């Protein structure tokens, strides 16, 4: 059964710019671009980078505690070996020695995909077509951002600068309880706000442990600095193999009656002009 979604508008910058995930709906949509999102259903709004979906309680408290403990221990080893401070980021398959921890991450990523297939089926079809998700980590039909799926383990002053993932879909799953760190959260910018380095974010989302954020590949976002403690985040940005970013997926979600502009290669254009 499809569970209803609450749409949450990102407030103008100010005291209300920092939002905390609501716990009532099973999932909610945070709108980054009000004008564009108002004309689109949730699936298309995500595909076009107009909104972010929050999936509440995607992971259980026990799953989060177990993975946090394993990630924290592994990150400490990496930090000592490589003299790192702030942020340790490593592929899941390299960070964990235990196959059970890798399998736990696999299960969570499959759960994320299952959510999209069940609750946003038009988005799932546009992004992934007929791809089988018996596995995510070892799926030859998928491509990931370099080094992902990964664990980001933030400690004091750890952050991730503003960027776009340039994949079809990104999943950020917070594994840490709010009391285990200060600061943090994920900042998002609407496409209308220009360069992130020069503009305050539209919204900063601090999600409870187990809540996932899903968004498209053109959304500018950043991991906010940690002031105290430690925050662990499971990260996966992926597309179907052979796809160039996610722009074609946005086009796939347009109404079929809308006019479309066909593209051709430079060679094809030159050949046509030579006729």
CATH of the domain at 87: 2.60.120
Query: DSSP label at 262?
Result: P
* Residue 265 pLDDT: 47
Domain count, the chain: 1
What is the model's pLDDT at position 246? 44
Q: What is the DSSP letter of 179?
A: G
**Which residue, chain included where needed, has tokens 């992971």?**
59
Measured CA to CA, the distance from residue 178 to residue 97 in angstroms comes to: 27
Q: Is residue 50 part of a domain?
A: no
Q: Domain span at residue 81?
A: 58-202+216-254
Q: Domain for residue 156, yes or no?
A: yes
Mean pLDDT of 103-114: 97
Q: Give yes or no for a contact between 43 and 123, defined as CB atoms under 8 angstroms apart.
A: yes
Q: What is the dihedral of CA 37, 219, 27, 96, to 10 degrees?
A: 170
Among 217, 219, 221, 215, which Cα is nearest to 52's?
215
Question: For residue 35, is it within any domain?
Answer: no
Find the range with the poorest average confidence among 33-47, 62-76, 122-136, 241-255: 241-255
At residue 125 the predicted structure's pLDDT band, cuts being 50, 70 and 90, is: very high
SS3 content of the chain, % helix, strand, coil (to 5): 30, 25, 40
pLDDT bucket at 250, cuts 50 / 70 / 90? very low
Could you tell me if residue 209 is inside a domain? no
């Amino acid at each position: 059964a499809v569970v209803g979604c609450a749409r949450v508008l990102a407030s103008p910058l100010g005291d209300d710019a920092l939002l905390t995930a609501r716990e009532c709906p099973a999932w909610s949509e945070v709108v980054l671009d009000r004008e564009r999102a108002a004309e689109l259903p949730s699936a298309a709004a995500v595909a076009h980078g107009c909104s972010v979906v929050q999936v509440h309680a995607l992971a259980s408290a026990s799953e989060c505690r177990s993975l946090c403990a394993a990630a924290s221990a592994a990150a400490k080893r990496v930090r000592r070996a490589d003299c790192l401070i702030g942020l340790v980021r490593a592929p899941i398959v390299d960070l964990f020695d235990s196959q059970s921890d890798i399998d736990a991450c696999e299960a969570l990523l499959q759960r994320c995909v299952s959510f999209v297939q069940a609750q946003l089926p038009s988005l799932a079809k546009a992004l992934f077509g007929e791809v089988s998700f018996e596995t995510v980590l070892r799926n030859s039909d998928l491509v990931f951002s370099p080094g992902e799926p990964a664990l980001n383990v933030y400690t004091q002053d750890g952050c991730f600068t503003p960027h776009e993932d340039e994949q079809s879909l990104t999943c950020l799953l917070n594994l840490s309880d709010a009391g285990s760190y200060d600061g943090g959260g994920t900042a998002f910018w609407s496409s209308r706000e220009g360069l992130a380095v020069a503009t305050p974010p539209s919204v900063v989302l601090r999600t409870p442990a187990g809540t996932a954020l899903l968004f498209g590949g053109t959304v500018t976002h950043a991991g906010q600095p940690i002031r105290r403690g430690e925050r662990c985040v499971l990260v996966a940005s992926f597309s179907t193999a052979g796809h160039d970013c996610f722009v074609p997926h946005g086009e796939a979600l347009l109404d079929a009656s809308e006019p479309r502009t066909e593209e051709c290669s430079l060679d094809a254009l030159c050949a046509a002009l030579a006729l």
